[in-house]
């Protein structure tokens, strides 16, 4: 497997990369499950993959756009290692999305027409070939506005939605249980008694489908739940206790690991960005 990063840019608000992988090794991608503090636009240029978001398995074709919500756990499975895998990915912070577009990132995934694909690639190529009339962040903001307006129009028309493969009912029920009980104390016995499957089987199916363990997934969801509560004006104490954490030290350690900064620094940065906008 040979991976070539054609272009990459990252700062505290944006991350963009154009990556080409020749003969992708399925083992290298199998458990790269992750979540992050940004919304994500993923454009598949070539390759044969499965794209898993929160346990839902999509089967995109080249020319497909996948829009992933901030905090959503997602990963890619390589279906054919002989099909070279190329993608463009643009991620951005919450302060750069209008409320009108947030619905897009709940479940939007669609195949672009030839003209719309040309538009999307042209927008992203502008980032890669910046003529420096605008700084890269300013250019990305302009490109992002154009892309979201275009995708919104496509999504609410008769667009070609990406099919979802047969969902693993056990995994689906597990995720529903976790999301409904983020603020409560529970264990695998509670989960087993709720969805009526053996906990060892549940754990195995969850790891295989989602790409991470049940508790890793739960902690990530609790961290992002606390972050949203802080962003809405709740105190740090209210946020972490309402999201299922028993003590501040555990919350702080996991928050910094997943978000990349302390809860107070992140909350302060968000308030400043809102004031500046």
For 73-96, the pLDDT digits (tens) are: 888 889 999 999 999 999 999 889
Mean pLDDT within 243-271: 91
What are the helix (H) ranges across 56-166?
Answer: 104-107, 114-128, 136-155
Q: What whole-number percentage of the chain has pLDDT above 90?
A: 60
264/251 Cα distance (integer angstroms): 12
Q: Is the pLDDT of residue 257 over 80?
A: yes
Mean pLDDT within 232-243: 93
- Tokens 């074709």 map to which residue? 61
**pTM of the shown model:** 0.81
Neighbours of 25 (CB within 10 A): 13
Q: Is the pLDDT of residue 236 over 90?
A: yes
Q: Could you tell me the maximum CA-CA distance found in the chain, to the nearest angstrom?
A: 61
CB 133 within 8 A of CB 150: no
Q: Is the pLDDT of residue 131 over 90?
A: no
Question: Per 3-state DSSP, what percentage of the chain is helix, strand, and coil (rounded to 5)?
Answer: 45, 20, 30
Q: Which bin fits 193, alpha (ψ -120 to 50), beta or left (φ > 0)?
A: alpha
> Exposed e or buried b for every residue in 110-122, given b needs 16+ CB within 10 A?
bbbeeebbeebbe
Q: What is the pLDDT of residue 109?
A: 85
Q: What is the pLDDT of residue 164?
A: 66
Q: Which residues pair with 53 in a beta bridge?
A: 56, 74
Q: What is the pLDDT of residue 134?
A: 86
Mean pLDDT, the chain, rounded, equals 89
Question: What is the pLDDT confidence band of residue 163, given thresholds at 50, 70 and 90?
Answer: low
3/202 Cα distance (integer angstroms): 34
Q: What is the pLDDT of residue 192?
A: 94
Q: Which residues pair with 66 in a beta bridge?
A: 42, 109
What is the DSSP secondary structure assignment for residue 163, as one 8-state letter? P
Q: What is the pLDDT of residue 47?
A: 96
Q: What is the pLDDT of residue 158?
A: 63
Q: Which bin fits 233, alpha (ψ -120 to 50), beta or left (φ > 0)?
A: left
Q: What is the pLDDT of residue 106?
A: 80
């Amino acid at each position: 497997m040979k991976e070539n990063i054609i272009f990459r840019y990252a700062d505290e608000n944006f991350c963009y990369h154009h990556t080409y992988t020749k003969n992708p090794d399925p083992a290298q991608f199998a458990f790269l499950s992750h979540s992050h503090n940004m919304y994500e636009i993923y454009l598949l240029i070539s390759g044969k993959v499965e794209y898993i978001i929160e346990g839902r398995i999509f089967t995109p074709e080249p020319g497909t756009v996948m829009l992933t919500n901030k905090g959503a756990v997602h990963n890619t499975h390589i279906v054919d290692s002989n099909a070279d895998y190329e993608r463009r990915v643009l991620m951005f912070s919450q302060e750069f999305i209008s409320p009108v577009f947030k619905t897009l990132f709940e479940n939007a995934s669609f195949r672009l027409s030839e003209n719309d694909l040309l538009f999307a690639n042209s927008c992203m190529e502008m980032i890669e070939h910046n003529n420096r009339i605008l700084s890269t962040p300013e250019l990305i903001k302009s490109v992002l506005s154009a892309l979201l307006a275009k995708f919104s129009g496509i999504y609410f028309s008769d667009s070609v939605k990406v099919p979802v493969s047969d969902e693993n009912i056990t995994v689906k029920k597990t995720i529903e249980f976790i999301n409904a009980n983020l603020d409560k104390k529970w264990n695998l016995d509670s989960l087993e008694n709720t969805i009526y499957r053996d906990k060892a089987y549940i754990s195995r199916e969850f790891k295989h489908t989602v790409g991470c363990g049940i508790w890793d997934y739960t902690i990530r969801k609790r961290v992002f739940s606390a972050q949203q509560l802080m962003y809405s004006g709740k105190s740090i104490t209210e946020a972490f206790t309402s999201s299922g954490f028993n003590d501040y030290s555990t919350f702080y350690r996991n928050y910094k690991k997943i978000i990349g900064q302390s809860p107070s620094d992140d909350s302060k940065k968000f308030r400043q960005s809102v004031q500046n906008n």
